[in-house]
Amino acid sequence: MKSLLIKYKSVIWFIITFLAVYGVLTIGYNLFLSLSDGSKFYPDYFTHLVAQQTEVLINSVGYEASVLPHLNEPSMKIIINGKYVARVIEGCNAISIIILFLSFIVAFAGKLKTTILYGLAGSIIIYAFNLIRIVILSVGLYNYPWRKDILHNVIFPMLIYGTVFLLWMIWVNRFSKIKKRDA
């Protein structure tokens, strides 16, 4: 048993670190959500921010968009040219994806400064890509509502998780100490 622990030390360390960082960030984010009263930013700060930024981006590409609080559920409605096309819920704000990304980066840590900078840059890329994803999805639902299932459930998750995967691969192959330590 001891020889297995020694042999797979880096794998075990990765799993423990990943789970610890993921747990701490997830608990912190859930605590943040539970402390949000929703009076100023409905349903929560990040979801509200993503909805507002989505509205600005849709308006900048020639559509007339507005976002309104959904009265029956904790979400924001996206309305394009007077037509309700989508809703932004807490899961659409990319925070859970950023937490997953950061947990991986820390578990495969490189130099401290590089890890922090890459984590910050990657989080910004994921956040921005998610905004663009919501804009394209909303405009797509406005123009092609019959394509809702393939757009929302297949294409756009594949793109956002594909982006995270590419960022992970760049991290592991260019910046992580794990590769060097195990060589």
Looking at the domain assignment, is residue 115 inside a domain?
yes
- Cα first-last separation, the chain: 23
Q: What is the largest CA-CA distance in the chain?
A: 66
Structure tokens at 161: 């998780």
Looking at the domain assignment, is residue 81 inside a domain?
no
- In the chain, the number of structural domains is 1
Task: Answer yes or no: pTM beyond 0.75.
Answer: yes
**Which pLDDT does position 181 carry in this prediction?**
47
Q: What percent of the chain has pLDDT over 70?
A: 96
Range(s) of the domain holding residue 120: 2-41+93-182
Question: In whole angstroms, what is the distance from residue 90 CA to residue 44 CA?
Answer: 8
Looking at the domain assignment, is residue 108 inside a domain?
yes
Structure tokens at 166: 């590419």
Structure tokens at 35: 């402390």
**Which pLDDT does position 49 carry in this prediction?**
95
Residue 26 binned pLDDT confidence (cut-offs 50, 70, 90)? very high
Looking at the domain assignment, is residue 122 inside a domain?
yes
Structure tokens at 84: 């309700």
Looking at the domain assignment, is residue 52 inside a domain?
no
Question: For 25-47, what is the mean pLDDT?
Answer: 88
Neighbours of 95 (CB within 10 A): 23
* Structure confidence by residue, pLDDT tens digits, 139-172: 999 999 898 888 888 888 888 899 999 999 999 9
**Which pLDDT does position 134 carry in this prediction?**
94
Question: In whole angstroms, what is the distance from residue 47 CA to residue 72 CA?
Answer: 16
Question: In whole angstroms, what is the distance from residue 134 CA to residue 49 CA?
Answer: 13
**Which pLDDT does position 35 carry in this prediction?**
85
Residue 169 in contact with residue 105, Cβ under 8 Å?
no
Q: What percent of the chain has pLDDT over 90?
A: 68
Which DSSP string do the residues of 11-47 spell out, in sequence order? HHHHHHHHHHHHHHHHHHHHHHHHH--SSSSSS-HHH
**Which pLDDT does position 153 carry in this prediction?**
87
The three-class DSSP label of residue 63 is: coil
Looking at the domain assignment, is residue 49 inside a domain?
no
Q: Which has more confidence, 156 or 116? A: 116
Looking at the domain assignment, is residue 37 inside a domain?
yes
Question: In whole angstroms, what is the distance from residue 161 CA to residue 94 CA?
Answer: 11
Residue 115 in contact with residue 109, Cβ under 8 Å?
yes
Residue 94 in contact with residue 130, Cβ under 8 Å?
yes
Tell me: pLDDT of 104 over 70: yes
Neighbours of 31 (CB within 10 A): 10
Looking at the domain assignment, is residue 85 inside a domain?
no
